[in-house]
Every structure is written in structure tokens, then in C-alpha cells.
Chains A and B, each alone.
Chain A
Amino acid sequence: MAAITLKGLKKSYGTAHVIKGVDIDIDDGEFVVFVGPSGCGKSTLLRMIAGLEDITSGELTISGRVVNDLPPKDRGVAMVFQSYAIFPHMTVRENVAFGLTIAGASKAEKEEKVGEAARILQMEHLLDRRPSQLSGGQRQRVAIGRAIVRKPQVFLFDEPLSNLDAALRMDMRLEIGKLHQQLGATMIYVTHDQVEAMTLADKIVVLKDGLVQQIGSPMELYHNPANLFVAGFLGSPSMNFLDVDVKGVNGQKILVSNAALDPVEITAKTTGYTVGGKAKLGVRPQYLTPVESGGMLHGSVALTERLGAETVVELTMKDGNRLIAALARDAVFPIGAELGLTFDPAQTHIFAL
């Protein structure tokens, strides 16, 4: 029903090319999250879908209909803004009912639908207040209430939780997830926050400089990043990248090593490695295990952060580079101590340079 497709979508402001050809297929009822560094074009892309930003070229369809030239009101979308954008001169009730008022709904219909939205969002007691009398979280509820009351097929969220504190953020995150299940609508959600992306998304779209880097389920992206950028972007602390020399190539099996790394055979997903060439080997901090003696990686402890349930160790490697290891337990490592680490070669990612 409300499937969305983006085909070769581009956006330029004069000579500044902000979106450089984006293709995404979004199924009906899917929860899609756009992530990427600041300025990569997430908001722009979302606003193009909403109709708030012209499409320079390419094709955008919603429910099979090309909507490139339709104004926002004819696209059947609702949007929640980072700044909430609730109308300061209206009560909460009037804010939530705004879309219905515009559509000419009867008083009874408005009353019923606003009541229902307020029930879902647990804000019945706030309906007669003015926005200036609400907290940030309550304002965000009003903005979401205004979006759900018209029962649109598509919801667009632009960093809706970024102005909230950590605890409230988690509550609202769970609520948005619940809302998605209840409404079954297609949702596109822009965020900086990895946790929001990983927990909410059916599908994550990683963007960088106006281009899609990878599209896939959270676990697909986490376990099979398509490139260095995606590998480094998802996961916390972020993935270690070792500069390694290719010592041997045998089909998909690549033998690599460097000054700090004993030779190890890695199974690559792509070809294009040559003996004597360079590559990057990615290892997540969680997959590194310190060992009493031996180990495949060698360095000395530069810093440890004890978080109770987790210990993050920063090492200076034999080749002078930095490496982060994260242990799922409390442990003490004296600064300067020599440390050997092992890892499972199957849990690494190799990228040709």
C-alpha cells in the first residue's frame, strides 16, 4: 500500500550537490532508519520525501504513484520535527486536531480521534494546556499525536528524540517502536543515535556525502559491512582498523600480517588482493580477547576505562597504531603492561585498498 521507492534521487542547491543519486526501496509497513554523519543529507532526503524540498532529478513514488511534483498535503505523509514545531498559539487539543480541522472534520469526529490519539500517547490530561506549559517530552508527544491523528500511511521523523534527555529518550524510543507495531504504517526515521537505529529499524540506510553506503537489516550491517565507512560507523566503540600487508592469496583466503600482527588467514568476501599489497583488517573491540601469553596482536596498555560491566582498554600497538579492546567484565590492566590479544579470524572484516 504505502511502499516508497526512491529512484536516482538528486538534490542540488545551485552548484552544491547535496543528494547525489539515491535509490532506496521501502516496503509497506517497514521501519526504515537513515543514519550518517552530520551534513550527509539525511534531513534533506526526508524533506524531499515529505515534499518540503524540490527534487532536482530522479523519481519518488509513494504507493506506486509518482509524487515528485505533488505538494506535501497530497502525499499522505505526516512528519515529526526535531524542534517539535507545535503551534504556540493553540492548545494541545487544537494542535493535535489541526490536520482534521484543515480537512473540515466535524467536531464529534475531532473529539473522538483526538481522544484516541491522546489515549495512545497517554496525554489526555494535557489536552487543554498550551505548549508553553509543557515539558520537552510532552511537546514531543503532542507532535507525534498531531501526526498520528490523521492516520497517514507514512510517518517521517527527523531526529525526534535528540532534544530529550537520555532516560526520556529511551522511553520515547520504546513508545515509537510500539506505535509502529500498533499502526503498522511505513515509518522513516532519521537519527544520529546508533541505539535508536539498531533497535527500531527493520532496515537501516547508511548515508555519507549524499550517497547510500549500504542498506540492510541492523544485523546485516553490523556483521557484514559493505565498506570501511559502514564498518566504522556502526558499533560502539567503533571497529579497529589494522593496516596490514597481504602476504599470500589463495582464492578467497588471504594471508595478512603487520609489525604487531602475527600472520593470519582471513576469508575475504571479494577478490582483488595481490601479494605485497595493502589492506585494512577490521576487528570489533568486543571480539578481542587478552591472553596471558602469546596472542596474535601485540601492544602495551595506554589507558583503561572501567565501566563496571565492561572494560575498555586502549593499547599502543607495536607498529605505533592505536587499538581498542572491550571486555564484557571488570578487569584491571596496569598502564604500560605488555598485552597479547587473540581474535577469531572469522569475526574480522578485510577491505582491499
Chain B
Amino acid sequence: MATITSDNHGLRLAVRYAVLVLIAVIFIFPLVFMLISSLKPDAQLLADTSSLKAFLPVGDISFNNYSAAFKRAPVGLFILNSVIVTGVTVVLSLIVCSSAAFVFVFVNWQGRDLILTIILATLIVPFETIAIPLLLISSKLPWIGLDGLTWGWLNSYHVQIIPFVADGLTIYLFVQYFKDLPGELIEAARVEGASWFAIYRRIVMPLAGPVLATAAILKFLAMYNQYLWPLMVVQEEGYRPVMVGLQYFFQLNVVWGEVMAYLSLITLPVLAFYLYLQKAFIASIASTGVKG
């Protein structure tokens, strides 16, 4: 029988940390490589790749690549575009998909199971197969904006947002989570006089912290990495997102340092988002008191 003494407890802790450090290092090295390389001129960058120097800020270090990147492409604009599109989509998607899941799980209505099945079936349809029909539809849809009624959604933020607000995976995540909430909580709220909306807002959503975080991360990553769709629907530079912007660095002469500088810059919003979410996630667990 294994006993826990203070020695082998310490040893186990050491092993555990060693493994965690190893995993962290594996994940962090590409990032370090990207950051370090963005500071080096191409000649040194390519020479260093054959040694450990690739991960060290040695030699000819400068921010020249960054200023060059800003000259080559409107980096700030691309990041802003991506942040707007991703941010709005994530927020709308959390609201829309959680509401849909709420209605599927808690409200009793005819045809509910059939419709949920159809929505879940869309999970197996790859985006590439619907991209062309979606493009044809979006190019003809009406829109009421600042300049009145216009036809066709191309070259805009909303064409990049609306098709991705509702999706099967996010709805599925919420449905699974809601099904595990104790049904009597919802029933108690109903008896206490709460409307469906009040139950959604005051009971279900405050308890949904963990699934909100999961859905937000998945949606954020998918949206921030959008490439094919914006390439199809956005021809004007003004609405272009970061991934499409990467093309600017592969036209004419390719400078790897500039590519790395650009990648480092567009990674910043992702990091900021993760840090924010980590805090929010912990806060939500602490406040709901959901215990294992």
C-alpha cells in the first residue's frame, strides 16, 4: 500500500512540476521563436535557426522589422477589424446560442427534438461546402445601415459577423450544460413567478460561467483565425481582418522578420483575451459556489 510521507510527497510534486514545465516549454517555444525572430534581420534569423540561438535575443537586435511591417501593411486597421468582428461575434453568439439552448432545454414545445437534431446535424457540414451558396446569398441580401437601404452585404463588418453568430457547436455546448442544471431550480423560479426571460437572466446565465468561458474561447479562436470567408467577401482594405492581411507579407519580397513581427502583433489581442477570460472564469466559479 502506498503511503504519503513528506519525502515522497515532495518527490511527487517535483515530478508533477517537471512534467508541467516540459509541457509549458513545448507550447511556449514557438511563441518565443516568433518573438525573438521578429527582432532579428533576416540574414541572422536564417543563420540562427540551426542552433539554440533561435530562441535567444542575441546578435543584431532591433525593432526595425516592426516599423517595416507597419509600413508594408495597415497593421492597426487589420487588428482593429479583427477585434471588432471577433468581439461582436463572440458576444452575439453567446447571447443567441444560450437563448436557443435555453428554449430547447427548458421550454416544452412541439417539434423541439426534431429541430435540435437538425441543428446538431449541421455540425458535420464543413464550412467549405456552404461557402459558395452563402456567398451568393450574402451578396444579394438587403441591409439597412447609416446610408439607408442597400443591397448586398459584401465589404462590410456584418457580412463577416452574422453568418457565424449562431452555430451548432455553441448551441450544443449550452444544451449539454443546461441539461445538467438541477431542473428544480428552474421550477422553483417558475413557481415564484419568474418569466422565461427572468429565469434565463437571473438563474440560468449566472450559473453558466464555465460554459460561457468555453464557448467564448472556441468562438474567439475560430473568428480570429477566419481566412477563407473574409477573402471571399471583403475586397476593400478597410474591412480586412488580420489573417487576410498576412498576404501583404508574401507579396513581392518575403522578409521573415517582418512576418514574425506581424504575427507577434496580431497575437497580442489573443493573449489579452485569454488573461481576461481566466480571471472571469475563476470569478464565476467563486461566486456561483458550484462545487465538485
Contact = CB atoms under 8 A, between A and B. Distances in A.
B42 to A, nearest CB: 55
B113 interface: no
Contacts of A83: 182, 184
A89 B207 contact: yes
Identify which of A50, A78, A87, A103 gathers the most chain B CB atoms within 10 Å of its CB: A87
Nearest to B206: A89
Contact of A98 (B184, B192, B206, B289): B192
A130 interface: yes
- Nearest first, the 8 closest Cβ-Cβ pairs linking A and B are A85-B184, A73-B193, A85-B188, A132-B289, A99-B192, A89-B288, A89-B206, A79-B191
Interface in B230-248: none
Contact of B289 (A47, A73, A77, A89): A89
Nearest to A79: B191
Interface of B: 182, 184-185, 187-195, 198, 202-203, 206-207, 287-291
B203 A77 contact: no
A73 B195 CA distance: 8
Contacts of B195: 73, 102
B135 to A, nearest CB: 44
Contact of B193 (A86, A102, A132): A102
Given A52-B187, A86-B188, 12 more contacts: A50-B187, A52-B191, A73-B193, A79-B188, A85-B184, A85-B187, A87-B189, A88-B289, A88-B290, A89-B287, A101-B202, A146-B192
Given A87-B203, A89-B207, A99-B193, A81 B289 contact: no
A47 B186 CA distance: 13
B184 A81 contact: yes
How many interface residues does chain A have, given as a range?
20 to 34
Contacts of A99: 192-193
A81 B188 contact: yes
Contacts of B184: 81, 83, 85
Contact of A85 (B185, B207, B289): B185
Contacts of B189: 87, 98
17 contacts: A51-B191, A52-B190, A81-B188, A83-B182, A85-B182, A85-B187, A86-B188, A87-B188, A88-B289, A89-B287, A89-B288, A98-B189, A102-B192, A131-B289, A132-B291, A143-B188, A150-B193
Interface of A: 47, 50-52, 71-73, 77-79, 81, 83, 85-89, 98-99, 101-103, 130-132, 143, 146, 150
- Residue from the set A72, A83, A86 with the largest chain B CB neighbour count within 10 Å: A72
B203 A72 contact: no
Contacts of A103: 193
Contacts, number: 71
B192 A88 contact: no
A101 B189 CA distance: 11
Contacts of B202: 101-102
A83 B182 CA distance: 9
A88 B189 CA distance: 13
A143 B190 CA distance: 14
Contacts of B198: 102
B289 A130 contact: yes
B254 to A, nearest CB: 53
B20 to A, nearest CB: 30
Contact of B187 (A78, A81, A88): A81
A69 to B, nearest CB: 13
Contacts of B207: 88-89
A149 to B, nearest CB: 9
Contacts of A88: 207, 288-290
Contact of B191 (A72, A86, A89): A72
Contacts of A78: 191-192
Contacts of B206: 89
Nearest to B291: A132
A99 B203 CA distance: 13
Nearest to B289: A132
A83 B183 CA distance: 10
A71 B188 contact: no
A77 B191 contact: yes
